[in-house]
Amino acid sequence: MNVYMSCDMEGTAGICSWKQCDPGDAYEYPVFRRYMTREVGAAIEGARQGGAAALIVNDAHWSMRNLLLDELPAAGDLRVISGAPKPWSMMQGLNSSVDAAFFTGYHAKAGDCATLAHTFSEAIYSVAVNGKPCSEATLNAALAGSYGVPVVLITGDRTIVSEVVRELPWAVGVAVKDAIGFSAVNSLTPQAACDAIRAGAREAMGRIAQARPFVFDSPFELTLETAGVEHADFIELMPGFKRIGGRAVRFESREYPALLQAFIAATRIAAAANPIA
Ligand SMILES: [Zn+2]
């Protein structure tokens, strides 16, 4: 069995602030990137215990240079993808040779009453595909699904874990913390979170046979609400995007990968939006 892992950071046990997952922070980030690395290591160990032969780990947060590579289990059949930008962002390296995908360190979508809730970018107020509101997990699960790959493990805060397990009932969910607010959590300790993730990953390997790829029905319609009018001004400049409101754009495609790449490009160009001085 070959396993692909998309590893975000905000859903790591204990994290309750942007500073803890901002690579520019000299004090808290170095500690919390170690917590993230340990959780990823625990998922790798659990996958192996459950029969994984080869693993691809994609560092999927911010600069995508968070994982401390020498603290991951040493093995020739483990590959780690680092750095950004990457054409497929949080899902770089996934292909149809993979048997299952794991999502670790994931967080609630923009607008949810949960810690560090967002969807790719703070410029995005909400995302929907075919009218269904989407988290990063849903958007990424549908990409995996378009390659025939099911998601069998989700770890992170309870809000996203509950949502994903509702959408993908074959997946194992490991909630490592509960939100008190945007910047406060009630969390497991890192060690307890790692133990739960290791056990969850092992169990997830046993779910692969019953798991199903998650897909939306074609044709695909992406609707984006942006945080500001200026963000929609920039996204509208890209071919294929249609302005449908002051803070809203739409993109349509018959191919889901093309839709996800358009969304990724939209988040990047929106980040460039600054009022001209
Ligand atoms: Zn992140």
Structure tokens at 90: 């949080």
Q: Which residues have their alpha-adjacent CB atom under 5 A from ion ligand 1? A: 8-10, 61
| Alpha-carbon gap, residue 266 to 250, rounded angstroms | 11
Predicted model pTM: 0.96
Structural element, H or E, at residue 233:
helix 229-235
The CATH topology of domain 220-271 is: Gyrase A; domain 2 (3.30.1360)
Q: HSE on the CB side for 58, CA within 13 Å?
A: 21
Distance (angstroms) between ligand 1 centre and the Cα of 167 equals 21
Distance (angstroms) between ligand 1 centre and the Cα of 268 equals 14
Distance (angstroms) between ligand 1 centre and the Cα of 13 equals 13
Give percent helix, percent strand, percent coil of the chain, each to the nearest 5.
35, 25, 40
Distance (angstroms) between ligand 1 centre and the Cα of 58 equals 12
Give the start-to-end residue ranges of the domains of the chain. Answer: 2-108+136-205, 220-271
Structural class in CATH, domain 2-108+136-205: alpha beta
Q: Average pLDDT by consecutive 10-residue portion of the chain (277 residues)? A: 98 98 97 98 97 96 97 88 96 97 98 96 96 98 98 98 98 98 98 98 98 98 96 96 98 98 95 71
| Alpha-carbon gap, residue 277 to 267, rounded angstroms | 22
Evaluate whether 2-108+136-205 and 220-271 have a shared fold: no
Query: Measured between alpha carbons, how far is residue 30 from residues 19, 37, 85, 182 in Å?
Result: 10, 11, 22, 21
Distance (angstroms) between ligand 1 centre and the Cα of 9 equals 5
